[in-house]
Amino acid sequence: MAERILITGITGFVGSHLADLALAKGAEVWGTKRWHLSNRQHVRHFEDRVQWIDCDITDPISVRNLLDQAAPDRIFHCAAESFVSPSWLNPHRYMSVNYNGTLNFLDGLKQSGAKTPFHIPGSGEEYGLIHEDELPITEQSVLRPVNPYAVSKVAQDFIGYVYNQSYGVNVIRTRAFNHEGPRREKVFGIPWYAYQIAIAEAGKGPVELRVGHLDDKRNFTHVGDMVEAYWVATERCTPGELYLVGSEGEDRVFTFRQCVEMLIDMSGLKGLSYRIDNEFVRPTQVPFLISDCSKFRAATGWAPSIPFMQILSDTLDYWRQRVAEGTA
């Protein structure tokens, strides 16, 4: 009998790639949607192979109905407000979705007594203001979140820990560092650069890219590797424990300035340049997100396999295709 996998936020960046993986493994996939909000752009290729349920995760009755209908063997909770910049203007919204939405699932699992593994994908953004002499970041590093999104993810993670310790809910806690690739929307750095290059190549936009702050340094992982990590996390990680997930090699650590310059080099268009536009500069920056993921490696045996340059080329090719189709 096929395993039932529930993916909240299945129409999003990570959720859609998780669905690809689960379907390839022969699972029966259930996914959440909002009848008036969900963008199906990322799921057209598997839409007819998923059991869809309309669910507002901020509504506990809606979540209980979802859990009763899907009766999942494993849950990947990808539904979230994930774009950092609007969180300063909408902090209540971010807490409502990221914290309260998660709490509704935890409470539903508690009340049902289900032992379903429930994966909460946290974020390296939770660490916030980490100084260079504090690198690499570990599970013990201090949390200094500097934006409302990060605060909501800290709250989401900690309420998951509470429900594991207090009620035995099988919460799998990870904090993922930057992961990129196809289907990531153009409100984020690397896809925003790639989108602008694609429209410039198509003769539909300027050859000067507008960018935000560029000197923050990150370790980058391809989304294809990240969803493999999430899958094995639900099989091999100890519920309640915290694990950092990301790429550790020096060949995967770059600033955003290096990323935009490498993408420009990948373009066949001459004369491309970039300038910092204050519209895209956040009120506070997170200068370093570079992780030590040895605990996760030891628990799962996972290691990323997709090279950094493929992250850039896959993202650029994706936006070239979207521009060509007129769906960008």
How many whole angstroms separate alpha carbon 224 and alpha carbon 206? 31
**pLDDT number for residue 40:** 83
Alpha carbon 271 to its chain centroid, in Å, reads 33
Give the confidence band of 302 by pLDDT, cuts at 50, 70, 90: very high
**pLDDT number for residue 37:** 63
Annotated domain spans of the chain: 4-179+222-245, 181-218+250-289+306-325
CATH of domain 4-179+222-245: 3.40.50.720
| Pairing of the two strands 253-255 and 217-219 | antiparallel
What's the pTM?
0.97
Alpha helices in the chain (DSSP H): 13-24, 60-70, 91-94, 101-112, 148-167, 189-201, 223-236, 256-266, 294-300, 308-325
Q: Looking at the predicted structure, is the pLDDT value of residue 21 above 70? A: yes
Average pLDDT over residues 80-91: 96
CATH topology of domain 181-218+250-289+306-325: UDP-galactose 4-epimerase; domain 1 (3.90.25)
Q: What angle do CA 247, 163, 298 make, to 5 degrees?
A: 30
Q: Looking at the predicted structure, is the pLDDT value of residue 16 above 70? A: yes
Do 181-218+250-289+306-325 and 4-179+222-245 have the same topology in CATH?
no
Buried b (16+ CB within 10 A) or exposed e, 239-278: bbbbbbbbbbeeebbbebbebbbbbbeebeeeebebeeee
Give the model confidence (pLDDT) of 38-59 as tens digits.
678 899 999 999 999 999 999 9
**pLDDT number for residue 164:** 98
Buried b (16+ CB within 10 A) or exposed e, 178-198: bbbbbbbebebbbbbbbbbbb
Cβ atoms 104, 95 nearer than 8 A? no
Q: Looking at the predicted structure, is the pLDDT value of residue 243 above 70? A: yes
How many whole angstroms separate alpha carbon 99 and alpha carbon 127? 17
Give the model confidence (pLDDT) of 144-194 as tens digits.
999 999 999 999 999 999 999 999 999 999 999 999 999 999 999 999 999
Q: Looking at the predicted structure, is the pLDDT value of residue 71 above 70? A: yes
